[in-house]
């Protein structure tokens, strides 16, 4: 018999957002059904893959994680914008990450208002690098910490509607909506390709 699986599509999806919002744990939950409360030293690889069936087709999701360089990159970008005033160097820093991406998850921590306010900047970076028709999902992670909520759902819904993004709240810890958000974005990517 032939045990090799025929892959119909490979979709690259990038995770972006501030440090510590839970990008790596969302990916660990989705790809391996794992979660770690102490996830500092997790990342040695640049992406994880998971194969799933959508509409009878075999879809390989290749999910890229930023390996904790978020803060440094934003500072570098701000510096270059301020002192060089050109986009060339700035693009070189991040373009490899976005190259070929057909989907993006913009992740904030719903207990950290600043991580939501920074979504504007992440979206700007994304739109500066990615394809026109990239599918984008806004994710408010850590919804298990409801009593610490700092971002009202309406604020996120309004932002998502204005910017034409999908939106979901998730918990990598409790596994809430994790499968659903990846399935939703991958299904939409499949639909438009
Ligand atoms: P990253 O820097 O965006 O990759 O964030 P990490 O995935 O490394 O997570 C940062 C911290 O938040 C870690 O201590 C995680 O255990 C914790 N964390 C991640 N997701 C959740 C979640 O859904 N709920 C809670 N309560 N903590 C989470
Ligand atoms: Mg990480």
ipTM of the complex: 0.99
Judged against a pLDDT cut of 60, whether residue 88 lies above it is answered with no
pLDDT at 42: 46
Judged against a pLDDT cut of 70, whether residue 20 lies above it is answered with yes
Q: Minimal CA–CA distance to 175: which of 15, 50, 25, 74?
A: 25
- Ligand showing the shortest atom-to-Cα distance for residue 37: 1
Mean pLDDT of the chain: 87
> Ligand 1 atom 6: the closest Cα is on which residue?
22
Ligand 1 centroid distance, CA of 146 (Å): 15
88-104: average pLDDT: 76
Question: Whole-model pTM above 0.95?
Answer: no
pLDDT at 77: 60
E strand segments, 55-98: 57-64
For residue 136, what pLDDT band results from cuts at 50, 70 and 90?
very high
CA 108 – CA 102 distance, rounded (Å): 20
Judged against a pLDDT cut of 80, whether residue 93 lies above it is answered with no
Helix (H, G, I), strand (E, B) or coil at 55: coil
Most confident residue range from 67-71, 79-83, 127-131:
127-131
Q: Does the CB atom of residue 14 touch ligand 1 within 6 A?
A: no
CA 134 – CA 104 distance, rounded (Å): 7
* Least confident piece of the model among 4-8, 9-13, 62-66: 4-8
Q: Does the CB atom of residue 173 touch ligand 1 within 6 A?
A: yes
pLDDT at 80: 59
Residue identified by tokens 């009593």 is 147
Judged against a pLDDT cut of 80, whether residue 139 lies above it is answered with yes
> Ligand 1 atom 11: the closest Cα is on which residue?
20
Q: Does the CB atom of residue 24 touch ligand 1 within 6 A?
A: yes
């Amino acid at each position: 018999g032939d045990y090799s699986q025929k892959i119909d599509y490979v979709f690259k999806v990038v995770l972006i957002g501030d440090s510590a919002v839970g990008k790596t744990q969302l990916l660990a939950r989705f790809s391996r059904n794992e979660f770690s409360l102490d996830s500092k030293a997790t990342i040695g690889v640049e992406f994880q893959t998971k194969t799933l069936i959508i509409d009878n087709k075999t879809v390989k999701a290749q999910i890229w994680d930023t390996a904790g360089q978020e803060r440094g990159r934003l500072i570098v970008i701000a510096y270059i914008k301020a002192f060089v005033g050109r986009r060339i160097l700035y693009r070189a820093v991040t373009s490899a990450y976005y190259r070929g991406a057909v989907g993006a998850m913009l992740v904030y921590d719903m207990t950290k208002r600043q991580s939501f306010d920074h979504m504007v900047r992440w979206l700007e970076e994304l739109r500066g690098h990615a394809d026109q028709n990239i599918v984008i999902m806004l994710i408010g992670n850590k919804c298990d910490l409801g009593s610490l909520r700092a971002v009202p759902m309406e604020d996120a819904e309004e932002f998502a509607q204005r910017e034409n993004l999908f939106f979901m709240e998730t918990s990598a810890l409790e596994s809430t909506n994790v499968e659903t958000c990846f399935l939703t974005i991958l299904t939409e990517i499949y639909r438009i390709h």
